[in-house]
Amino acid sequence: MAETGTYLYAIAQDVGHPLPEEVAGVTGAPVRAITHEGLAAYVSPVPLEEFGEEPLRRFLEDLDWVGGTARAHDRVVEAVAKEAPTAPVRLVTVYSSEDQVRDLLRRRHDDLAEVLDHVTGCREWGVKAYAKPSEEAPRAEEAPEETDSPGTAYLKRRRASLRGREDAWRLAARRAEDIHTTLASISVACHRHRPQDPRLSGREETMLLNGAYLVAEDRREEFVAAVDALRGEEIEIQLTGPWAPYSFTSVDLGPTRAETLDAP
Amino acid sequence: MADVMRSGGSFPRSSGGRESSANLADILERVLDRGVVIVGDIRVNLLDIELLTIKLRLLIASVDTARELGIDWWEHDPWLSSRDRDLIEENRVLRDRLSAVEGDEEMEGTRRRSLDRGSSGDARELRSTGRFREERDG
């Protein structure tokens, strides 16, 4: 019999709803809840021949494996988050036994409860804004005149084009700032993440904003409408969600009770 | 059962409740970089496994930021860049072909040198394609 570990997906308020049976964990095994005083930790058994430290080093180099595991992890987190305030746990957090998870709930009960209180009644939305710099036509006052020599005309066109592009970028950056400010005003909390690399986003355009917004469920429609209203010519906006509050539950839980919470 | 998850490419998309289907980049960004981090007492966590997270963190950060920090080794890392991977593969095929004719060719030394020069030139050009394009647009 192969050795197994306990894979932890998320910690949530215990609302007494069991997960739907079709929600399987990262290896296909069913996910179950370990509960303790109002908290529920969602776990599934994993073979250590795959999820032990050494095998993981190897598997984490395999992007297909990482992708599949990440999606499965997220699927469990989302299923939990639909039912209860949830704090997602980082990918591949594996315990030796369920007892250790129970112990975590006991030792860090107050910290976890506080984090969950903060996200109760809210979902996270992701908003990405991309620059769509247009092919700038030279502005009228810079346009070459018919009397200009070909060289002068070229230089004028070039200068106008450069200036037009600079202006376009400045404008786009300012628009991204406005978008963030507007959406933040509708949110309980917000977080600007680093823009994604084009190879990660799969897009050539420059990402100007990679924001996460914690939005109360009763303001959801208002938020989505605000995003739609902000769409414009120079900027493309992409809305994703609702997500579990990944960006608003970033706490480091050390092994000791004395450790303090990092503010998200 | 684990094989199902490992086979790659055929994972069911997470769609429940989401207004738009999440792409892998968005999921990776969240599950690797955010949420509760538990240290100590556990069998294994990502903090123990730095190699991949470093690579993915760099992918998540903007390229420009990484360059400003003087981090550019990933440009040469075949794991990250399929362009480079293709190049290396192409190089390997050419080398194989070359060594196949080496037996009856007296000139193979010269050819091998010119081949090496040619392929590294290609690599440079590929990497700076973005910049070239930008200048041409201007």
Please report the residues numbered 25 through 54 in chain B whose beta carbons come closer than 8 angstroms to any beta carbon of chain A.
25-46, 48-49, 51-52
* Interchain pair A92, B61: CB under 8 A: no
Q: Do A165 and B22 touch (CB under 8 A)?
A: no
Each residue's pLDDT tens digit, B13-57: 333 355 445 677 788 888 887 888 776 555 665 555 554 554 555
What is the arithmetic mean of pLDDT over B85-91? 58
Please answer whether residues A127 and A227 qualify as being in contact, where contact means their C-beta atoms are separated by less than 8 angstroms.
Answer: yes
Residues of B in contact with A87 (CB under 8 A): 35-36
Chain B hits for A79, CB-CB cut-off 8 Å, are 16
Q: Which CATH architecture has domain A123-245?
A: 2-Layer Sandwich (3.30)
Q: Minimal Cα distance from B24: which residue of A?
A: A67
The pLDDT of residue A213 is 98
Residue of A nearest to B20 (CA): A240
Q: How far apart are CA A73 and CA A94, in angstroms?
A: 12
Q: What is the pLDDT of residue B13?
A: 34
What's the pLDDT at A1? 55
More confidently predicted of B125 and A141: A141
pLDDT of residue B6: 27
Q: Which residue is it, tokens 């470093």?
A: B54
Identify each DSSP E strand in B22-128 by its residue range: 37-38
User: How much is the pLDDT for A174?
Assistant: 85
C-beta separation of B62 from A192 below 8 A: no
In chain A, residues with a C-beta closer than 8 Å to the C-beta of B6 are: 59, 62, 64-65, 68
Chain A contact present for B63, CB below 8 A:
yes
In chain B, the residue whose alpha carbon lies closest to the alpha carbon of A191 is B34
User: How far, CA to CA in Å, does A87 sit from each of A75, A93, A168, A220?
Assistant: 14, 13, 40, 20
pLDDT of residue A159: 80
Q: pLDDT value at position B132?
A: 30
What pLDDT score was predicted for residue B138?
Answer: 32
Grade residue B131 by pLDDT with cuts at 50, 70 and 90.
Answer: very low
| Domains in chain A: boundaries | 4-120, 123-245
B103 and A CB contact within 8 Å: no
Question: Residue B64: what pLDDT?
Answer: 53
Among A258, A253, A247, residue whose Cα is nearest residue A101: A253
Instruction: Give the C-alpha distances (Å, rounded to integers) separating B23 from A82, A92, B12, B27, B28.
Output: 19, 20, 12, 7, 9
ipTM over 0.95: no
Which residues of chain A lie closer than 8 angstroms to B37, CB-CB?
Answer: 89-90, 250-253
Q: Do A194 and B37 touch (CB under 8 A)?
A: no
B131 touches chain A (CB under 8 A): no
Establish, for the pair of chains A and B, how many residue pairs have beta carbons separated by less than 8 Å.
Answer: 214
Q: Are A96 and A68 in contact (CB under 8 A)?
A: no
Interface membership of A240 toward B (CB under 8 Å): yes
Q: Is B2 on the interface with A (CB under 8 A)?
A: yes
Phi-psi map region of A213: left, alpha, beta (phi>0 left; psi -120 to 50 alpha): beta
The pLDDT of B64-80, averaged and rounded, is 47
Given A79, A96, A250, which is nearest B16 (Cβ)?
A: A79
Which of B17, B40, B81 has its CB closest to that of A254?
B40
List per-residue pLDDT tens for chain A, 264 residues long. Answer: 578 999 999 999 999 877 877 789 999 999 999 999 999 999 999 999 999 888 887 887 777 788 889 999 999 999 999 999 999 998 888 888 899 899 999 989 999 999 999 999 999 999 999 887 665 544 555 566 777 888 888 888 888 777 777 777 777 778 888 999 999 999 999 999 878 777 677 777 888 899 999 999 999 999 999 999 999 877 899 999 999 999 999 777 765 444 444 434
